[in-house]
Chain A
């Protein structure tokens, strides 16, 4: 009754083609963004900002990037962690080596170099598909791990191989406190999510989806597979690279190659699979599931134990966290193989009838 588009008439093509054609959706999303910018800073404490929200925002951005490649273009990649690492280290090098480099330019340069590396490692996708491609992109992961550990130039010849940055100004404004960092990440995320959403609705996005659904058929109707696949790799790596730079600069402040290990690649792929392949919205759900759930479990289990008067040891909590997390992944994938985004759209369908289903 409340969630219906009755009476909303589209009088122009622009109105018909907007991202959210239903007015209620538009208002809901605008309210959500406004809440994230204004409400969240007023409500949450430093712990939530620094330990949960900032990592969530950055990994959401990375998941959006991976979703473009895996979800929209159908090219399974296990090299996302590597592209994050390239973004972080390239941004670090431009930031440290060039005097007076603005932070935003450094971050974008991280994205640029990640694009180059991503396109290079995307070349095998022209020949190999599916799981074979996943293995080929794994090479990117191992190569980057090796390069950042062994080649001293990338880490400014730091003896320990760990690099760090501080004092990050954006347009003269400092990005120091957790709140400033949160707002900065949120702004970057909003811009990139909007860009990504528009890209996947455009001609190029449709090309990616055509390649994903059946590449031979796509080639027959005149889509160039090389162009489509490499552009997907480029766009995806760019976004992932910027996310990597943010992860290093804003979240960790000091990092080593292990921060972008193969585990990170798997984590990003799981976010996309659990959140929903081929859905920008799903990237956010997936990131929330992977980032926030383990921490919530970790804090909830001792509290539950406390309720029944049981002291659970630290190790037991950690083991239980893994088990519960794994069980939830399996449960969600059985209940809804298309990911959390599909659950979301089912919910929306049901909402159209609510509260009078007859």
Chain B
């Protein structure tokens, strides 16, 4: 009997709540630019997903504290994907029409990016995949709605090989060397393979491919192979708990950490913090920025957001690698909206199509970046109809046992290599989908 009362009470609460569910939407002002935030604060990838989400949300709050985008305030809502594709699609559907329509989406997962690439054009919402997603989507002629701003996995792979070549004293010395790629066995991990193979054919090094299945804690057999083959370098295309496991295995195997390179998803504090000294010498590529505790915008977030008690997440994580990544991703979206406003009317709320134009015509000069507080953090980004990436710069940073330090100068990915690959892959995609390349007239729209 008691149970029945309980059930009745629960259903009353549910009924009341469903009434309340619609209420906040009614209060939301029409003058707000809505930023949906797909995050994963739980699950196997949460240690890395949380700082990203905190950075993203804090930057939105900072933008509001700065007075919005020409007076237009930003609103946001988080949705937990848990890095699962079907939940990500559900989140996308849930948020895309809310609060006057989504400005853009940042899926933060290669799997979700692939699924949304099929849906976004129909809904006319741009996808920003800053530094991740599908590498061929930098070809704006085919991928009208995808924006892998400031780098792709192919750029990352290319720069890693450049740095290895430099350490060896020239690309000619790569000949006969052996590089092992340990990758997360998912579309994300596999993105690295084409560029490393292309470079292997060019320079004549041997590439071995070692997949690690989700979530990546089981690597014993992989490291048995490393112990046997003793590759000259190891490239780590991992994410989440896989990275720290990999470094611990390297330690146990006695493989020098100086010879391991991680992708930018594998080069942040959560990956190495617990290992500390053991991870000393471990390298990772950064898509432009690393840990930036002294950047101007980080200080501004501390002053204007955290000091007022509105910060998201712990204070000591502000300015860490993935936090900066989240903030930078938000900044790119905000600047896309700002650019769109320049054409479609300042102080107005932009819709997805207008933001798409803004992202396609993004022109972030060094002066603009410095004004935003990204001095020394980023280099200029300028996109066009054909090029949705905008910049192909990267640096290598190394864990010194306590913090990440830059150990290389700026590298630029070799366009000669990547361009034909992008074009071929994009053409293949267009052929499969029976798409036409965008005409010059379409570029103006």
Which chain A residues lie closer than 8 Å to B41 at the CB level? 313-315, 318
Contact A160 B17 (CB under 8 A): no
**How far is A47 from B25 in the complex, measured between Cα atoms in Å?**
15
Least distance between A163 CB and chain B CB atoms (Å): 9
Least distance between A333 CB and chain B CB atoms (Å): 15
User: Would you list which residues of chain A between 165 and 219 have a CB under 8 Å from chain B?
Assistant: 166-167, 176
CB nearest to A50 among chain B residues? B93
**How far is A313 from B191 in the complex, measured between Cα atoms in Å?**
33
Annotate A314-347 by CB proximity to B: 1 below 8 A, 0 otherwise: 1101110000000000000000000000000000
Which chain B residues lie closer than 8 Å to A161 at the CB level? 186-187, 190
**How far is A168 from B245 in the complex, measured between Cα atoms in Å?**
43
* A100-108, A228-236, A269-277, A299-307 - interface stretch: A299-307
Q: In this assembly, does A286 line the interface, its C-beta being within 8 Å of a C-beta of chain B?
A: no
Least distance between A285 CB and chain B CB atoms (Å): 17
**How far is A45 from B39 in the complex, measured between Cα atoms in Å?**
25
10 more contacts with CB within 8 A, not counting A159-B190, A258-B214, A261-B214, are A46-B93, A252-B85, A255-B114, A256-B111, A300-B17, A306-B23, A315-B50, A315-B80, A318-B41, A319-B42
Contact B114 A162 (CB under 8 A): yes
Which chain B residues lie closer than 8 Å to A149 at the CB level? 185, 211
Annotate B417-443 by CB proximity to A: 1 below 8 A, 0 otherwise: 000000001000000111000000000
Contact B39 A160 (CB under 8 A): no
Which chain B residues lie closer than 8 Å to A317 at the CB level? 80
Q: In this assembly, does B46 line the interface, its C-beta being within 8 Å of a C-beta of chain A?
A: yes
Q: In this assembly, does A123 line the interface, its C-beta being within 8 Å of a C-beta of chain B?
A: no
Contact A304 B17 (CB under 8 A): yes
Least distance between B179 CB and chain A CB atoms (Å): 18
26 A–B pairs (Cβ distance < 8 Å), ordered by A: A45-B97, A47-B94, A51-B89, A51-B93, A96-B432, A156-B432, A159-B193, A162-B111, A162-B114, A164-B117, A164-B432, A166-B118, A254-B114, A254-B117, A254-B118, A256-B85, A256-B187, A258-B85, A258-B214, A259-B111, A300-B14, A303-B20, A304-B13, A314-B41, A315-B42, A317-B80
Closest 8 CB pairs of A and B: A315-B41, A253-B118, A51-B93, A160-B187, A303-B17, A314-B78, A318-B42, A303-B21
Q: In this assembly, does A55 line the interface, its C-beta being within 8 Å of a C-beta of chain B?
A: yes
Annotate A7-30 by CB proximity to B: 1 below 8 A, 0 otherwise: 000000000000000000000000
Q: Which of A164, A259, A307, A318 contacts B82 (CB 8 A)?
A: A318
Contact B114 A164 (CB under 8 A): yes
Interface residues on B, range: 35 or more
**How far is A300 from B24 in the complex, measured between Cα atoms in Å?**
13
CB nearest to B14 among chain A residues? A300
Least distance between B181 CB and chain A CB atoms (Å): 13
Least distance between B193 CB and chain A CB atoms (Å): 6
Q: In this assembly, does A298 line the interface, its C-beta being within 8 Å of a C-beta of chain B?
A: yes
Q: In this assembly, does B110 line the interface, its C-beta being within 8 Å of a C-beta of chain A?
A: yes
Q: In this assembly, does B356 line the interface, its C-beta being within 8 Å of a C-beta of chain A?
A: no
**How far is A202 from B326 in the complex, measured between Cα atoms in Å?**
59
* Best-surrounded residue of A50, A149, A161, A303 (most CB of chain B within 10 A): A303
Q: In this assembly, does B218 line the interface, its C-beta being within 8 Å of a C-beta of chain A?
A: no
Q: In this assembly, does A295 line the interface, its C-beta being within 8 Å of a C-beta of chain B?
A: yes
Which chain A residues lie closer than 8 Å to B211 at the CB level? 149
Contact A299 B85 (CB under 8 A): no
Which chain B residues lie closer than 8 Å to A299 at the CB level? 21, 94
Least distance between A29 CB and chain B CB atoms (Å): 26
**How far is A253 from B111 in the complex, measured between Cα atoms in Å?**
12
Q: Which of B79, B89, B134, B432 contacts A160 (CB 8 A)?
A: B134
**How far is A146 from B314 in the complex, measured between Cα atoms in Å?**
40
CB nearest to B429 among chain A residues? A164
**How far is A161 from B18 in the complex, measured between Cα atoms in Å?**
41
Annotate B53-68 by CB proximity to A: 1 below 8 A, 0 otherwise: 1000000000000000
Q: In this assembly, does B307 line the interface, its C-beta being within 8 Å of a C-beta of chain A?
A: no
Least distance between A244 CB and chain B CB atoms (Å): 13
Which chain A residues lie closer than 8 Å to B193 at the CB level? 159
Which chain B residues lie closer than 8 Å to A159 at the CB level? 190-191, 193-194, 425
Which chain A residues lie closer than 8 Å to B14 at the CB level? 300
CB nearest to B82 among chain A residues? A318
Least distance between A302 CB and chain B CB atoms (Å): 9
Contact A256/B89 with A167-B433, A304-B13, A318-B42 known, Cβ cut-off 8 Å: no
Interface residues on A, range: 35 or more
Q: Which of A164, A259, A318 contacts B86 (CB 8 A)?
A: A259
**How far is A156 from B431 in the complex, measured between Cα atoms in Å?**
13
**How far is A273 from B41 in the complex, measured between Cα atoms in Å?**
30
**How far is A303 from B24 in the complex, measured between Cα atoms in Å?**
9
Least distance between B145 CB and chain A CB atoms (Å): 14
Contact B80 A314 (CB under 8 A): yes
Least distance between A311 CB and chain B CB atoms (Å): 11
User: Would you list which residues of chain B between 169 and 226 have a CB under 8 Å from chain A?
Assistant: 185-187, 190-191, 193-194, 211, 214
CB nearest to B37 among chain A residues? A314
Least distance between B262 CB and chain A CB atoms (Å): 19
Q: In this assembly, does B90 line the interface, its C-beta being within 8 Å of a C-beta of chain A?
A: yes
Contact B110 A166 (CB under 8 A): no
**How far is A256 from B184 in the complex, measured between Cα atoms in Å?**
13
Q: In this assembly, does B1 line the interface, its C-beta being within 8 Å of a C-beta of chain A?
A: no
Which chain B residues lie closer than 8 Å to A252 at the CB level? 85-86, 89, 115, 118
Q: In this assembly, does B26 line the interface, its C-beta being within 8 Å of a C-beta of chain A?
A: no
**How far is A352 from B110 in the complex, measured between Cα atoms in Å?**
54
**How far is A315 from B79 in the complex, measured between Cα atoms in Å?**
9
Least distance between A305 CB and chain B CB atoms (Å): 9
Least distance between A99 CB and chain B CB atoms (Å): 11
User: Would you list which residues of chain B between 21 and 44 have a CB under 8 Å from chain A?
Assistant: 21, 23-24, 39, 41-42
**How far is A149 from B13 in the complex, measured between Cα atoms in Å?**
46
Q: In this assembly, does B119 line the interface, its C-beta being within 8 Å of a C-beta of chain A?
A: yes
**How far is A299 from B17 in the complex, measured between Cα atoms in Å?**
10
Contact A306 B80 (CB under 8 A): no
Contact A164/B118 with A149-B185, A258-B186, A299-B21 known, Cβ cut-off 8 Å: yes
* Best-surrounded residue of B39, B50, B80, B97 (most CB of chain A within 10 A): B80
* Best-surrounded residue of B110, B117, B190 (most CB of chain A within 10 A): B190
* Best-surrounded residue of B186, B193, B211 (most CB of chain A within 10 A): B186
**How far is A209 from B174 in the complex, measured between Cα atoms in Å?**
66
Q: In this assembly, does B16 line the interface, its C-beta being within 8 Å of a C-beta of chain A?
A: yes
Contact A55/B114 with A96-B432, A160-B134, A317-B80 known, Cβ cut-off 8 Å: no
Contact A47 B18 (CB under 8 A): no
**How far is A166 from B435 in the complex, measured between Cα atoms in Å?**
10
Which chain A residues lie closer than 8 Å to B214 at the CB level? 258, 261
* Best-surrounded residue of A258, A304, A313, A319 (most CB of chain B within 10 A): A258
Contact B97 A254 (CB under 8 A): no
Which chain B residues lie closer than 8 Å to A306 at the CB level? 17, 20, 23-24
* Best-surrounded residue of A45, A313, A315, A319 (most CB of chain B within 10 A): A315
Least distance between B445 CB and chain A CB atoms (Å): 22
